[in-house]
A and B are shown apart, each in its own frame.
Chain A
Amino acid sequence: MLCGNYEKGLMEKILVLNPDWCKGCGICAAFCPKDALEMIQGKVSLKENNQCILCGLCEQRCPDYAIFVSDSGK
């Protein structure tokens, strides 16, 4: 799943979720400064009103490397 906040001109970076590795602890969602994430059926998901600013805090605190900010080209 590739998500990104395209409207804000941050096209070069995207948020990537890997549900295969997500163990559903909810740390990313709990500490997201924009409250942009939610847990659905034990897996992380980006909320519909995409508030992600690609700060990468979720990536740093995800124990399972299941969410990260990536350069879109890759």
Chain B
Amino acid sequence: MIKTSDLVFRTMRIDHLPHIWCPGCGNGILMRDVAAAIDNLKLRQEKVVIVSGIGCSSRAAGYLDFNTIHTTHGRAIPFATGIKLASPELEVIVITGDGDCTAIGGNHLIHAARRNIEITVIVFNNNIYGMTGGQYSPTTPAGEWGTTAPYGNIDRQFDIPQLAADAGASYTARGTAYHTQQTIKAIQDGIAHPGFSLIDCYSPCPTYYGRKNKKGSAVDMMKYQRDHGVPAEQYAKLSDEEKTDKFIVGKLSQNEYPGYTQLYQQLIERSQERSQKKVYL
């Protein structure tokens, strides 16, 4: 018999474990956070859908014991949009990566955020393209290195939650592989929030991002998260200088804009009235 925790046993397809991720990869921790958040919310397994795209992050779908669909590169969000609109009673959760979500899938991200469709997007953000071997991504900081940035990366990086919030996402938060409690809470709140939620989760990639950029071991990368991630209340008290190398862990923004399926339901009702008046055809 496989030795595993009750949580993992309840929420994952244990016959597909251990997973394929590298030693020290944060994705395993974050996948457990997602599972814990769903478990804490006591959602019915058959009503939860996990949608993923392509890349290291996308493999999470196959390990989680829900309705799971591993789609094409960058397109997890529009697949999820179709599922949610077709069956609004389903809890649709997208697991994506920094490249999947903001490079090839960037257009879909901003438009899903703009519609405020009630899906939850969890970004396993490892600042690199891991599956293809360490190319720079839209979240690789300028000045750092990748196999396709042999003279240093000159691209500036996206702040994913800021991007989503500016596009209309009504809940954004940041998590890390280190801050498990806060990350589980953020994911839980994001799922419960009745609008488009995005939780950007820093995931250490010691194999490619770490090695290319001399960030040390997985432990060193986790220590960086510990030493630089602070709760919002604490962050607010910091001086501008102190803020330069710190980031907020936990909720970043939230508003009560109505969700898309809710608005669509109202549209259906309006169309019924109009069809009685035989306005068209």
Contacts and interface: CB of A to CB of B under 8 A. Distances in A.
A60 interface: yes
Interface in B14-59: 17-19, 21-29, 32
A70 B7 CA distance: 10
B256 interface: no
Interface stretch (B90-98, B99-107, B190-198, B217-225): B217-225
Contacts, number: 80
B180 interface: yes
A64 B6 contact: no
B4 A65 contact: yes
Contact of B29 (A26, A60, A70): A60
B23 A25 contact: yes
A64 B18 contact: yes
Interface in A16-41: 16, 18, 20-21, 23-27, 30-31
A25 to B, nearest CB: 4
Contact of B222 (A16, A20, A27, A70): A27
Chain A residues touching B, majority SS: loop
Contact of B218 (A26, A60, A65, A70): A26
Contacts of A16: 3, 5
B8 A65 contact: yes
B5 A65 contact: yes
A47 interface: no
Given A62-B28, A62-B29, A68 B4 contact: yes
Given A18-B3, A27-B218, A74-B6, A60 B24 contact: no
A40 B5 CA distance: 22
Nearest to B219: A30
A18 B219 contact: no
Q: By CB atoms of chain B within 10 A, which of A18, A23, A62 has the most?
A: A23
B20 to A, nearest CB: 11
B271 interface: no
Contacts of B181: 60
Nearest to A23: B23
Contacts of A64: 18-19, 23, 28
Contact of B180 (A60, A68, A70): A60
B63 to A, nearest CB: 10
A50 to B, nearest CB: 19
Given A20-B18, A26-B218, A63 B5 contact: no
A61 B23 contact: no
B178 interface: yes
Nearest to B24: A25
Contacts of A69: 5
Interface in B208-264: 217-219, 222-223, 226
B160 interface: no
Given A25-B24, A60-B180, A61-B177, A31 B29 contact: no
A70 B6 contact: yes
Interface of A: 16, 18, 20-21, 23-27, 30-31, 57, 59-66, 68-70, 74
